[in-house]
Amino acid sequence: MEENQKVTISKKERIKNLISSLAENLQEREDIISIALLGSLIEESIFFYGPPGTGKSLIARRISTAFHNQKYFEYLMQKFSTPDEIFGQVSISELKKDNYKRLTEGFLPTATFAFLDEIWKSSPAILNTLLTILNERLFKNGKIVENCPLKVIISASNEVPPKNQGLEALYDRFLLRVPVFPIKDKNNFEILLESNNVKTKTNIKNEYKISPNEVEKWKNEINNIKLSKETFNIIHILRTLLFEKAEELDIYVSDRRWKKVAFLLKASAFFCERKETNLSDLLLLKYCLWSTNENREKINTLIENTIKENSYVFKINLSEFDREKEKIEKEINKELYYTEDIYDTTVRNGNEYFKTWRDCRDNRITFLIDKKYIKTNEEFSPVDTNGNILDGIKCNFKGTGSCEIKIKDIYYYGYGNSFNSVAPFSPKILYHKGDKKIDINERLINSLNESAVKLIKDIEDMLKELDSYEDKLKHEVDNPFVPKDDIEILLNSINNLTDDLKVRKVDCEKIKDLAK
């Protein structure tokens, strides 16, 4: 079947068929293949991170078979690898003419698809030349600068590049950083042990293979895909968090990387036949933002939590809604109910006092206890009805609502400086905290009731809005590039948000009932 034969199935189904064929007889490798295929479709560079013997080279070879007319180059890099082995040998005949020129046919400069294993073990000279090829798709061959047809490069290593070796720029060119670890599931491991040697060759139908013309056409169309408001919101939050935690996580995400990330998300939406991105595309960030084995899990957890906590952007700001709800509740409680105990007091010079008395011999002493000392541990003297301090009497609430009283002997015997305890004083509470007031402002209460009704209406509108979004998401959430377990994270986050809104609605109904 010819390369340009018309494909009769949708892009999404075609991608699913490709992934299924590429993952045939491979255990726990479908997720790796799917994200690597997406990266290859948009001609991005990919880094496989994981120990030897996990199928990294096999996956790379298989991915290359999904495309028509590939010139594949593969090499295992070593400390003593030479430029000749990667870029081609120097032409002896040209050298005799004083021309330094490499015979590049069959080597990296003429390849369209390349796999470089153990990339960080190579020499600086090779890696610097590779950076130029990745940046500009150019190769300086002696005096001549040649165009490189390279479309996709997959590299691999069981380590990330060491610090301070000048490799940061090259590492940053690998947009996708995909972990490739040993098989985890016991049954899958047993299948591996029982299976015959897995072959590179795949049974991909020729009509499903991708042509260079299609890739170019798709890349142009991907630019028309929109980033949704949820996508923008989560990217802004993540970018801020990563900036704030840059030192803690040892992470820096360049603007160039964010730009490439945006195109990757658009590509995911495009091949899922959507016109804009959704939450499922954002889960691909887990392959783009980590940089070391130490920060990989932390950053991926940060991504998941950010998506879960910000899974939908309402027309109404939830934080402002909660503040308004709290404000209305406080105003209703303040107007309808006593917010503190109201005591039987008398006022002198703007201060509240408890009026009491004690009998000493034939003399009754009337005095005023300052209310400000209630429930404190401070000892003080009361005043008489004229406001004069009575040094012969000591009072102390001892942190409670009952006041201990001590009176000097002189009040009893006419002499002596000792203090004697007398009956304590317990202030009379006229209205307890939470008691309903009798005199209320009906107009204000009616206004607050209307505000509570509006809050309930807003919540109901948000629930309808979220329900509609959930229905849409369920229809669009099927994404061949995202693991099914990760998709569950999205649906659960929407369910949790729905539950939170229902709790808010109950709170608002209680507030409305208060104002009846």
Task: Give the pLDDT of residue 40.
Answer: 97
Task: Give the pLDDT of residue 8.
Answer: 73
Q: Using CA atoms, how far apart are residues 55 and 31, in angstroms rounded to an integer?
A: 13
- pLDDT higher than threshold 60 for residue 351: yes
Task: Give the pLDDT of residue 4.
Answer: 52
- pLDDT higher than threshold 60 for residue 244: yes
Judged by average pLDDT, the poorest of 73-87, 289-303, 316-330, 435-449 is: 435-449
- pLDDT higher than threshold 90 for residue 111: yes
Q: Using CA atoms, how far apart are residues 258 and 193, in angstroms rounded to an integer?
A: 41
Residues above pLDDT 90, as percent of the chain: 64
Task: Give the pLDDT of residue 413.
Answer: 61
**What contacts 24+ positions apart, CB below 8 Å, involve 484-492?**
486/280, 486/283, 486/286, 487/280, 487/283, 489/283, 489/304, 489/307, 489/308, 490/279, 490/280, 490/283, 490/307, 490/311, 492/308
> Which 8-state DSSP code applies to residue 7?
P
* Mean pLDDT on 308-313: 82
> Which 8-state DSSP code applies to residue 211?
P
DSSP alpha helix (H) spans, 223-292: 229-244, 246-249, 255-271, 279-282
- pLDDT higher than threshold 80 for residue 105: yes
Average pLDDT, the chain: 91
Residues comprising the chain, all counted:
516
Task: Give the pLDDT of residue 440.
Answer: 77
* Mean pLDDT on 84-103: 90
- pLDDT higher than threshold 90 for residue 37: yes
Structure tokens given for 4: 């340009």
Residues above pLDDT 70, as percent of the chain: 97
3-state percent helix, strand, coil for the chain, nearest multiple of 5: 45, 15, 35
- pLDDT higher than threshold 50 for residue 2: no
- pLDDT higher than threshold 90 for residue 273: yes
Token pair 């997959």 is at which residue?
154
- pLDDT higher than threshold 90 for residue 286: yes
Structure tokens given for 453: 């009704």
Q: What is the largest CA-CA distance in the chain?
A: 134
- The number of helices, as runs of H, and strands, as runs of E, in the chain is 18, 15
* Mean pLDDT on 204-220: 93
Task: Give the pLDDT of residue 412.
Answer: 63
pTM for this one? 0.76
* Mean pLDDT on 249-269: 96
* 8 A C-beta contact, residue 59 and residue 178: no
CA geometry: angle 29, 31, 35, nearest 5 deg: 120
141 burial via Cβ count (<10 Å: 0-12, 13-18, 19+):
buried
369 contact partners, CB below 8 Å, separation of at least 6: 353, 354, 356, 382, 395, 403, 425
- pLDDT higher than threshold 70 for residue 7: no
Task: Give the pLDDT of residue 470.
Answer: 86
* 8 A C-beta contact, residue 364 and residue 371: no
* Mean pLDDT on 177-193: 94
Highest mean pLDDT among 4-8, 115-119, 322-326, 405-409: 115-119
* Mean pLDDT on 188-200: 86
Judged by average pLDDT, the poorest of 173-182, 187-196, 411-420 is: 411-420
* Mean pLDDT on 484-496: 87
Say how many C-beta atoms besides its own lie within 10 A of residue 120's C-beta: 20
261 contact partners, CB below 8 Å, separation of at least 6: 175, 235, 285, 288, 289
**What contacts 24+ positions apart, CB below 8 Å, involve 498-506?**
498/463, 498/466, 498/467, 498/470, 501/459, 501/462, 501/463, 501/466, 502/463, 504/321, 504/322, 504/325, 504/459, 505/456, 505/459, 505/460, 505/463
Task: Give the pLDDT of residue 1.
Answer: 40
Angstrom distances, CA of residue 58 to CA of 17, 188, 204, 351: 19, 18, 16, 86
* Mean pLDDT on 64-83: 93
